[in-house]
Structure formats: structure tokens, C-alpha cells
Amino acid sequence: MPPETTPYALVRRKGMKNLRIRVRPADGGVAVSAPHWVPKRTIDDFVAGRSEWIARERARLATLPPPLEAGPEAEALRAELRARVAPMLARWAERMDLLPVPPFIVRRMTTRWGTCNVRTRRITFALELARKDDEKLEYVVVHELAHLIEAGHGPRFHAVMDAHLPDWKRIRRKLNGR
Ligand SMILES: [Zn+2]
């Protein structure tokens, strides 16, 4: 009996050299792009060989926030989140010696909770944080502000987080549902 293969969507592309596989965040479906000359059999084997990776990737995606639909509900949540973030950001920017308070926006993001543009200092928060409590929101605020001190996620970043929010790893685990 042939090994069972996860069903997948196949896209054939010209000019590709390798097979590429991804798990769609929207529905957890597997999508493969492949050059025209690669036989279906080879692609099946490739997908079968990646089954552990697919499971891990699906588990990782499951911890991410579900996308909020656009519309009045999302707009209300956005206003609510802005009102919660503004004082928190002001308080932490002062505490971390990062004044003036960086500008921020709230928008729907499906793959991360926040981003920080270190050049413009603008911080973006995921609208999905509107469903999270203050402790988790505060962790994301401090995390993004910390990037204005250290851009990467290495030991120096950890040291900045430890100094300001000693409990940050526990909160991060809760935020990511682990
Ligand atoms: Zn980060």
C-alpha cells in the first residue's frame, strides 16, 4: 500500500527549480508549487516526506489569532484597542526612556501580534489583540518598544525584556496558547 499523502493543491510554475511547500494560514491546507517537469509521483513522495513538518506548521498556525472580518465590529474593536494601547504605550515609552511616544496603528494581522519599524519608530498592533487581556497586550507593547533598543530577537533583546518585564516569557507562552 502506498504511504498516505496529505491532500494538497498543486501549482505548476515555469522557471522554478525546486519544489516549494506551504501551509495556508487561512484553512491549514497544503499548497505545493512545482516545476512542470517534476512527475506527480515525486511530488506525492515529497509531501509524504514533509508530513511531520506539515503537522508542526499547522500547530504553529493554530496558535495565531483568527482573522477578524472587516466591518462595524472590527471598527469598534479597533477603537477599543487604540484606547487601551495609547496610555500603555505612553507609560512604557517613558519608563523605557523612549520618549517621544512612538506613533502606532492598529490593523488586522494574521501572522503576528505586532511589528515595529525601527527607522520610522512606528509600531503596528494586531487588531486581534483587542480580544486579549491587559497583561498580554502589555507584553506586546513592551516587546515592540524593546525593538527600538534592540532590533533583533537575540540575547540583547532578551536582556532588555528581562530588565523591564521580568515575567515576559510566561506571558508570551500564554499569549501563544502554550
Ligand atoms: Zn519582535
Q: Where are the domains of the chain?
A: 4-62, 72-175
CATH 3.30.2010.10 assigned to domain 72-175? The reply is: yes
Ligand 1 centre and the CA of 165: distance in Å? 14
Ligand 1 centre and the CA of 136: distance in Å? 14
Which residues have a Cβ under 8 Å from the Cβ of 76 and sit 6 or more positions away? none
pLDDT of the residue at 32: 94
Q: Which long-range contacts (CB under 8 A, 24 or more apart) does 135-138 make?
A: 135/171, 135/174, 136/171, 136/174, 136/175, 137/81, 137/84, 137/85, 137/88, 138/88, 138/92, 138/165, 138/171
Q: Is 146 helix (H, G, I), strand (E, B) or coil?
A: helix
Ligand 1 centre and the CA of 46: distance in Å? 32
The model's pTM is 0.65
Mean pLDDT by 10 residues, the chain (178 residues): 74 86 88 93 94 92 71 89 98 97 92 93 95 96 98 96 97 86
Ligand 1 centre and the CA of 115: distance in Å? 7
Ligand 1 centre and the CA of 153: distance in Å? 6
pLDDT of the residue at 19: 92
Give burial (CB, 10 Å; 0-12/13-18/19+) of 57: middle
Ligand 1 centre and the CA of 125: distance in Å? 12
Ligand 1 centre and the CA of 26: distance in Å? 23
pLDDT of the residue at 102: 97
C-alpha 140/C-alpha 13 separation (Å) is: 39
